[in-house]
Structure 1
Amino acid sequence: MVAVTPHDATRLRYAWRVCAVTSLGLVLIGIAGSTLNVALPAVVRHFQAGPLESGWILLAFLLVNTASLVFFGRVADLLGRREVYLAGFALFTLASLLAGLSPSVGFLIAMRVLQAVGAAMILANGTVIITDAFPPERLSQGMGVYIGTMSVAQLAGPTVGGLIAETAGWQWIFWVNVPAGLLALGVGAAILRRMPRRPRQPVDALGNVLVFAALSALLLALSEAGSRGPGSPVVIVGVAVFVVAVPLIVVAERRSANPVLDLRLFGGRLLACANLASFCNALARSALILVVALYFQAARGVGAFEAGLSVLPVPVGIGLASPIVGMLGRRVSPYALSIGGALLSAAGLGTLMVTAGAGTPYWVIGIGLFVAGCGSGTFLTGNTTQVMTALPAGSLGVVNGLRVMVMNVGIVISVGLSLTVLTASVGPELRAQVYAGTLSTLSPVAVGQLMDGFQRAYAVLFAVALAGAVLAALARPQSAPASRAST
């Protein structure tokens, strides 16, 4: 039995305090996203937004957040992780305050963009701060708690969002973030220690511009393809920009002395397959709450609060699985946990796929959602630990930025793909009624058509989850993880 020295005990106490701070940040961002998923119909009705504007209320955040994650991972490596992390809290809190004051849907989308920038500064650094704080042998425990807090946000978010939308008004969906953001900023400033900065090096301006342009063009094309079709000029231009930008990125990053995206770090099979598996898991799981909430509002005609309650099995599953898996991490390899979690997620989505129907008992839906949630909690803990322990300390920021960026790309595609499959089944003239949650009051025939869309959406997500399990299996470690420099 290894003796625990006073230094080890002190480091572990600090690590758990860091875990509490970073978990609070994840809860803040998670609540901000999950409340809006359920309350979207209330916002749409308030602004009388069309289908395109309705989609952009969600997608604007995801697009900007995804495209800027790698940039802020690199900036934090150079300028200080603590400083960038806390600045993200300040910006996110301010944007939330202004979002609640939005006079128009355009202004609201602009504030969502500012929220996205602040969230990118937080997300690109939270996992790295935890990785730096915990001893390697305890990292899976800290990561399990950190990932598990996402379930707290998802647990509270839909219920709180539905309740707020029906009582206090949609503005408070954003304003509830303000006191939480101020608390996180104050606690973070008091607890987080300054981390050593890397030597000052020139910022890869060209690389940043090219990466941002490529990601923005791709995600814009994907989102527009769902609402306007693949022949839309926006889609064609977006794909063309992406195709041109990718080889330019490869050339520019190979020539740069300080690349924002060091391609050498992503050439190994473990990292490539683990990130692709993470992409598939994000794509398969992330639209579940949105799709199920729309199902209960558009197909069954329930209110936002009841719809929020209906999706609780997903975050409950994540919340139960993540800390348990974190404790098992000292006995079970992250590799095995990743595979098991991916298969469990596929099982939950398969249950929803084969039982989809307007009259399906809720307990059947609940089981599918719970199993999918348990799978996601297991996969996220194992996958994140596997990736973060396989890297040298100097590359943690940019690689974690890429890891979260890959997941966000999956989320964007998931939202756009799921909504496209759903609304395609009822025709363009009724899509606005789906987003507003009023379809069930207009046409029982259209509700039946919509159920076909739900079944197809679950089928697509199930297939993607299975692909993620295969990729997780291919990410087998070939050697012992690289040791990280302690600080």
Structure 2
Amino acid sequence: MVAVTPQDGTRMRYAWRVCAVTSLGLVLIGIAGSTLNVALPTVVRHFRADALESGWILLSFLLVNTASLVLFGRVADLLGRREVYLAGFALFTVASLLAGLSPGVWFLIAMRVLQAIGAAMILANGTVIITDAFPPERLSQGMGVYIGTLSVAQLAGPTLGGLIAETAGWQWIFWVNVPAGLLALGVGAAILRKMPRRPKEPVDALGNVLVFAALSALLLALSTAGSSGPTSPVVLAGAGLFVVLVPLIVLAERRAPNPVLDLRLFGGRLLTCANLASFCNALARSALILVVALYFQAARGVDAFTAGLSVLPVPVGIGLASPIVGLLGQRISPYALSIGGAVMSAAGLGTLMLTADPGTPYWVIGIGLFVAGCGSGTFLTGNTTQVMRALPAGSLGVVNGFRVMVMNVGIVISVGLSLSVLTASVGPQVRAQVYAGTLSTLSPVAVGQLMDGFQRAYAVLFGVALIGAVLAALARQPQSAPQSAPARRDSTSR
């Protein structure tokens, strides 16, 4: 039996307080995303937005958030993780307040960009702060709770978004973030300790610019391909710029003394396969709530609140699986949990693919959503723990930023790909009716065509989920794993 020292008890009390603060941040970001997924038709109708504007209300946040994650991971390594983390809360809160005051759709999109920058400052650092606070042998428990709070956000978000859209007005979709953001900022400032900074080093300005430009070009091309086609000038220009910038990034980062993206950290099989598996899982799951919410509103004609209730099995599954898996993490390896979660996610999506029909009973759809949610909760906890355990302490920030960035690229592609497949089946003349949630009142024939789109979208996501399961199986810990645990323990004791 291992004796528990007073120092261990003090550290665990602080670790759980840190977990509470960072989980609150994840709830804030999760609610902000999931409320708009369900309430998007209400916002679209208010601004009379066309299909391009409707897509950018969602994609502007994802594009900027994804492209800036690595930057803020590196900035936090150098300037202080606590300071950058709290500044992200402040920016996100102000942007949410202004978003509710938007006079037009493009002002709203601009505020979504500011929200994305604040969210990147939060997301790039939350996981690292938890990893630094918990002993390695207890990390899976903390990570299970942290990931589980995402389900709280997703559980409350769709229902809250639908209720707000139907009663208080679309502005409150953003204003509900303000008191939560102020609370998170105050509690975080009171609880989080200053973390040791890395020695002052010159920032890799060229690398930052090149990485941001490349990601922005790629994600712009991917998001535009669905609405404008793969041969549109924007898609071709974005893809071409990305192809040109990638070798320049490799060359610049190899020569930089302090690269923003240290390519040597991603050469091992574990990190490569684990990050690719995370990408596939994000791509397979992330548009699920949005797609199902559109299904219930556009195909079945229900209101936003009812649609929010209909997608609850996904966050319920995540909420049940994540903390349970966190406890099992002391007996079952994160590697095994990652594989099991990826397989469950594929099973849930396969169920939805086989039952894509307007007459499908609600309980059948609910089973598919619940299994997919359980799989996501299991995979996220196992995969995140597996990656964070394998990293040296000095690179936690930038590698975690890269990890979250990879997931967000999957989210962007998932949203763009799913919406593209869905709307391609009904034609451009009624595409806006899908986003507005009014297709069911327009044409039964169009609804039937849309269901073909749903089935094809689920088939694509199901295939991606299976690839993710294979990659998770390949992400086996090598025998000579980096001994990063002592380094993390030392960093918290200084």
- Do they fold alike, i.e. is TM over 0.5? yes
What pairs with 1:226-375 in structure 2 (closer than 5 Å)? 226-375=226-375
Q: Counterparts of 1:83 and 1:93 in 2: how far apart (Å)?
A: 16
Equivalent residues of 2:38, 2:293 under 8 A apart: yes
Structure 1 position 202 matched with structure 2 position 177: no
Q: Counterparts of 1:469 and 1:375 in 2: how far apart (Å)?
A: 11
- Residue by residue, what CA displacement relative to the aligned partner does 1:263-302 show, whole Å, maximum 9, x if unpaired? 0000001000000000000000000000000000000000
Number of the residue aligned with 2:483: 482
Which has the larger displacement, 472-481 or 49-58?
472-481
- Residue by residue, what CA displacement relative to the aligned partner does 1:295-328 show, whole Å, maximum 9, x if unpaired? 0000000000000000000000000000000000
The CA deviation at 1:478 is 1.1
Percent same amino acid among aligned pairs? 89
Number of the residue aligned with 1:94: 94
Equivalent residues of 2:392, 2:482 under 8 A apart: no
Compute the RMSD of aligned alpha carbons: 0.5
The CA deviation at 1:482 is 2.2
What pairs with 1:47-58 in structure 2 (closer than 5 Å)? 47-58=47-58
The CA deviation at 1:483 is 2.4
- Residue by residue, what CA displacement relative to the aligned partner does 1:410-456 show, whole Å, maximum 9, x if unpaired? 00000000000000010010100000000000100100010000000
Normalising by structure 2, we get a TM-score of 0.98
2:483 partner letter = A
- Residue by residue, what CA displacement relative to the aligned partner does 1:328-381 show, whole Å, maximum 9, x if unpaired? 000000000000000000000000000110000000000000000000000000
Runs of 4+ in structure 1 over 2 Å off: 479-484
Q: Counterparts of 1:290 and 1:483 in 2: how far apart (Å)?
A: 38
Structure 1 position 113 matched with structure 2 position 123: no
The CA deviation at 1:19 is 0.1
Structure 1 position 144 matched with structure 2 position 182: no
What pairs with 1:177-192 in structure 2 (closer than 5 Å)? 177-192=177-192
Q: Counterparts of 1:483 and 1:27 in 2: how far apart (Å)?
A: 29
- Residue by residue, what CA displacement relative to the aligned partner does 1:213-241 show, whole Å, maximum 9, x if unpaired? 00000000000000100010000000010
Q: Counterparts of 2:466 and 2:121 in 1: how far apart (Å)?
A: 32
Number of the residue aligned with 1:132: 132
Q: Counterparts of 1:358 and 1:246 in 2: how far apart (Å)?
A: 44
Number of the residue aligned with 2:470: 470
Q: Counterparts of 1:234 and 1:449 in 2: how far apart (Å)?
A: 28
Q: Counterparts of 2:51 and 2:324 in 1: how far apart (Å)?
A: 41
Number of the residue aligned with 1:158: 158
Number of the residue aligned with 1:22: 22
Mind listing any 5+ residue stretches in structure 1 that lack a counterpart? none
- Residue by residue, what CA displacement relative to the aligned partner does 1:35-65 show, whole Å, maximum 9, x if unpaired? 0000000000000000000000000000000
1:443 partner letter = S
Number of the residue aligned with 1:167: 167
SS in 2 for 1:118: helix
1:200 partner letter = K
Q: Counterparts of 1:50 and 1:408 in 2: how far apart (Å)?
A: 25
Equivalent residues of 2:317, 2:372 under 8 A apart: yes
Number of the residue aligned with 2:456: 456
Q: How many residues align?
A: 487
- Residue by residue, what CA displacement relative to the aligned partner does 1:383-404 show, whole Å, maximum 9, x if unpaired? 0000000011000000000000
The CA deviation at 1:481 is 4.9
The CA deviation at 1:205 is 0.3
Equivalent residues of 2:43, 2:170 under 8 A apart: yes
SS in 1 for 2:484: coil
Q: Counterparts of 1:319 and 1:181 in 2: how far apart (Å)?
A: 22
1:483 partner letter = S
